[in-house]
Amino acid sequence: MTALDFTLVVWVISALAGFLGALTGLGGGVVVVPALTLAFGVDIKYAIGASLVSVIATSSGAAAAYVREGFSNIRIGMLLEIATTIGAVFGAYLAGITSTHIIAVIFGLVLVQSAYQTIFKSRLEGAAPIESDRLGRFFRLGGDYPHNGKREEYGVRNVPAGFGMMFGAGALSGLLGIGSGAVKVIAMDQAMKIPFKVSTTTSNFMIGVTAAASAGVYLSRGYIHPSVAMPVMLGVLAGAFLGTKVLVRARVDVLRIIFAVVILALAVEMIVNGITGRI
């Protein structure tokens, strides 16, 4: 394969990854890392570096549109970014001294449970609004978002649980280069009782900061190569813009199914790659 062919194919795959990342709040890394390592034979650490760049691009492409539309909750994002950034730096540091095989398997098993919770035990959109608990009111985390042609208010609960899960999400991002948007969405949707569309859009707002924290460590170690990172970044950015247009008009139950299918595929991929030592 010539350099031009490699660049074009990686760009197309990255565009699909960006579309999926913007639509589900997962970040493009769920597709980019396995595609680069398994299909193109790119070293896993260079794939993770390129993936982190793609996650930043996904967040940059999607976050502005979601904020403009009134979906993302900036106060929640800024608070939880403290935990994800600390976790991302910690995870990136551990990546240099620790094998990620077992972590990948554990992460896969967690995602299987997350997919089950998303499909069978998620709150229904449009149910009675959840009121904020004491910490939610203290930090003024509640807000409103567009729903059925009007602004619907919501509250925020279980802030400490969500904060702790965000630290774990950041650590996984630094270790595996996947953005860990799945954990962020589950934390906000399930633990903090935030509506699903707000959860996915706020996750998109956050994952860029999380990835930037760990990308700095990978850059200092020389694991971000322009010939790999550039087509990934451009492709993901194009796909992310398209994903934002689809999410605004998409049905929430359809998004939940897409989200569950994607993280189930990610779970299988992580388990298999962890057991076989490919990641």
What's the pLDDT tens digit per position in 175-208?
Answer: 776 667 777 888 898 889 898 889 888 987 888 8
pLDDT band at 252; cut points 50, 70, 90:
low
pTM score over 0.85: no
Q: Bridge partners of 143?
A: 154
Residue 174: name the closest of 29, 35, 59, 36 by CA.
29
What's the pLDDT tens digit per position in 58-92?
Answer: 777 667 777 888 889 999 999 999 999 999 888 88
- Return mean pLDDT, the chain: 81
The whole-number pLDDT of residue 124 equals 47
37 pLDDT higher than 70? yes
The mean pLDDT of 1-5, rounded to a whole number, is: 85
Q: 192 near 156, Cβ under 8 Å?
A: yes
**Helix H segments across the chain?**
3-24, 29-34, 44-69, 74-95, 101-120, 134-138, 159-176, 181-186, 196-220, 226-249, 252-276
Return the structure tokens found at 159.
């802030």
The whole-number pLDDT of residue 237 equals 83
Q: 27 near 62, Cβ under 8 Å?
A: no
The whole-number pLDDT of residue 25 equals 62
Q: 213 near 59, Cβ under 8 Å?
A: no
**Helix H segments across 25-122?**
29-34, 44-69, 74-95, 101-120
Residues in CB range of 234: below 8 A, 6 or more apart: 11, 14, 57
What's the pLDDT tens digit per position in 110-143?
Answer: 778 767 766 665 554 545 567 899 999 999 999 9
Q: What percent of the chain has pLDDT over 90?
A: 22
Distances in Å between the Cα of 261 and the Cα atoms of 11, 106, 108, 116, 149 are 23, 18, 13, 10, 28
42 pLDDT higher than 70? yes
